[in-house]
Structure formats: C-alpha cells, structure tokens
A = this chain, B = another copy of it.
Amino acid sequence: MLHVGVIGCGMIGRDHIRRMTDVITATQVVAVSDAFAENGKRVAAQYGCAFYEQGEDLIADPNVEAVVICTADDTHARFVLACIAAGKPVFCEKPLGVSAEECLSIVEAEMAAGKRLVQVGFMRRYDRGYRQLREIIRSGEIGAPLIVHACHRNLTHNDWHTSDMTIKNSGIHEIDVLRWLLGEDYATGQVLTVKQNSSATEGLLDPQIMLLETKSGARIDVEVNMSSGYGYDIQCEVVGEKGAIRLPDPATILKRTNCARSYEIYDDWSKRFIEAYDTEFSEWAQSLKQGGPVGPSAWDGYAACLAADTLIRARNERAILPIELPEIPAFYRSAGR
C-alpha cells in the first residue's frame, strides 16, 4: 500500500483523493494540504488523514511515501522541487511549470538527484483509444505515420479563459500525446487564428489551429476549439503510408427517435477520460513499487511546455518558428512507455 500525500484539495485534488481511496487498491491517502486551511481540514476529516497548512510540511512527513500535486499552476515547480529535494516520488498535474525555463529547472534538479522521481499528469497516454492507436502505429500496419488530424473541442469556456490557455492548458494535451504517439520530437510550429466564434468571449482567439511538424517531416493539425457549441469532443486521425486510423468515440447507446439515429456526445472531459485517470494512478502506484515512475517524465513536461511556448510566440508573430528542444539527456532516454 503506497502512502500518498496530496497537496491541493480543489476539484481535481479531491477527485484524485477519492480515486486513490475508493478505486485504486494500491494507494492510501495519509495526508493532505490546502492553501485554504478550512477546506483542507474538511477533506482530512472526511478521509481520516493528516492535514498540513504548508505543502512543504506534508512533503516532510515521514508517513508520506509519495506526493501528488494538484495546486495552482504557478506553485507546481516549487512543490516538485521540494519533493526532489526530499527524495520522494511526486506526481504533478500538468503543466509541470508555467514556462519552459521552470520545467528545465526541475529537469536539472532531478538529474542532479540522480534518480527519476517526477511524473507529469498527461493522462491521455492512459486512454485506451490512444494506446490502441499507438500499438497499431508501432505494429507497422499503416506504415510510417505522415499526418495527424486532431481536434480538441470544449462545449464552452469560462469567462477567465485566455487565448494562451487554449494552447497551454488545453492544446498541451495534444502536444504531449501526439509527440508520444508518433515517438518523435517537433521541429516547427505555427498557429492559424480563425474567424471568431460569436459565442466566444470578446477578444478571445477561438478557435485556433496549431500546426506542428515533426523532426521526420510528419505534419499535425490540431483544431483547439473552446466553444464548439455542441459538446466535449476529442478526435484524432493518424494517416500512414498504407492506411489511416481514428480514435474511437465513446461507446454510447444508438437511439432511433424523431427521424434520427443519434449517439450521445459528453458535455465535459470528466466523463470522457475518467478511466484514463484511474489507469494513470493505478499504473503510477504500481511503478513506484517496482522501482520508479515510468509515465510522462519531467523531460516530457519540459518538451510540451517548450512547444506550447513556441506556438504562442508563433501565433503572436504570425510566423513559422523552430521548436528548439535540446537532445534528450541519456538520463531520460529510457523513460516513458
């Protein structure tokens, strides 16, 4: 049983606490921390575990074997670095940091510590559909992948959503999962702005299209659409030399009513990816028993953040920019699954 401490008891934090308590057999939440002490204490009481006002104190608790970070984005790096300093495995919700530089500092600290401790919450890699796509690509059945057409559509967006968040918080899932799917780094990036959806907030660039080119010359287009108006919909088609494969839609009832055959589309991500989250935490706990994390590494977190930063610049400058990721250090080469 892995004894876990969770820093950040917001919506996603509480969901992970529930998951590690009720769904995953190999984990037990022994401590929580939250910036809002009242909220954190309530959660601690509910799950019968310790509470710490300061995340650093939770990390220092000798009962805490591993840490999960679900705090505000701009505190991720601080807590991850503290875990590395304490020599404790840490699962950090994406993004790893708010800038490529911040991510790189984590990479350097982890390498200096000499041991992989960090895993980043890119849960798409745990979705059954993406895994099947990857298996088929690896089998060679469709030849080399040449093009990926993807889209990430939300039903609607929050008032505080910004044009940069479209790329850095939503699009980053595709940035990571497609890099993993193709097994390749990116060479260049470009962003197409699109006529604005009239139901999007004034001034928000919505939708946007991210264009990525891999080192080998494969091309990726990703529509990132925060106000699809119809549902939460994730699509991905990989076109290879001998065939094309497509991510399945969730299995839902076929209804024949009102002169239509129809299938439900979910309205948000939680229904769509709930199983991927369960698998992610289950495999993470399993991997820690077996020597260390094998999921998305700090390097992956850095690579995704660097690509996102570059895309934002490319969009602002209306240019096609190189994505200048350094050669992967040997330390990280065997990482990732």
Contacts and interface: CB of A to CB of B under 8 A. Distances in A.
B260 A239 contact: no
A187 to B, nearest CB: 11
Interface stretch (A6-14, A52-60, A141-149): A141-149
A207 B146 contact: yes
Contacts of A214: 195
Interface size class of chain A, counting residues whose CB lies under 8 Å from the partner chain:
35 or more
Nearest to A192: B219
Interface stretch (A43-51, A167-175, A224-232, A290-298): A224-232
Given A194-B147, A198-B241, A230 B217 contact: no
Contact of A245 (B129, B197, B198, B255): B255
Given A149-B149, A248-B251, A259-B231, A209 B198 contact: no
Contact of A136 (B194, B217, B219, B255): B255
Interface string A186-218: 000000111111110000000101010110111
A259 B267 contact: yes
Given A230-B257, A230-B258, A243-B257, A143 B21 contact: no
A244 interface: yes
Contacts of A80: none
Number of copies: 4
Contacts of A261: 249, 262-263, 265
A113 interface: no
A185 to B, nearest CB: 14
A247 interface: yes
A65 interface: no
Interface in A97-116: none
A221 interface: yes
A197 to B, nearest CB: 5
Given A207-B147, A254-B246, A261-B263, A216 B230 contact: no
Contacts of A142: 255, 257
Nearest to A132: B253
A257 B141 contact: yes
Contact of A195 (B217, B244, B259): B217
Contacts of A233: 256
A245 B256 contact: yes
12 contacts: A129-B251, A146-B197, A194-B219, A229-B242, A230-B243, A244-B255, A245-B254, A246-B255, A246-B256, A248-B252, A250-B251, A259-B267
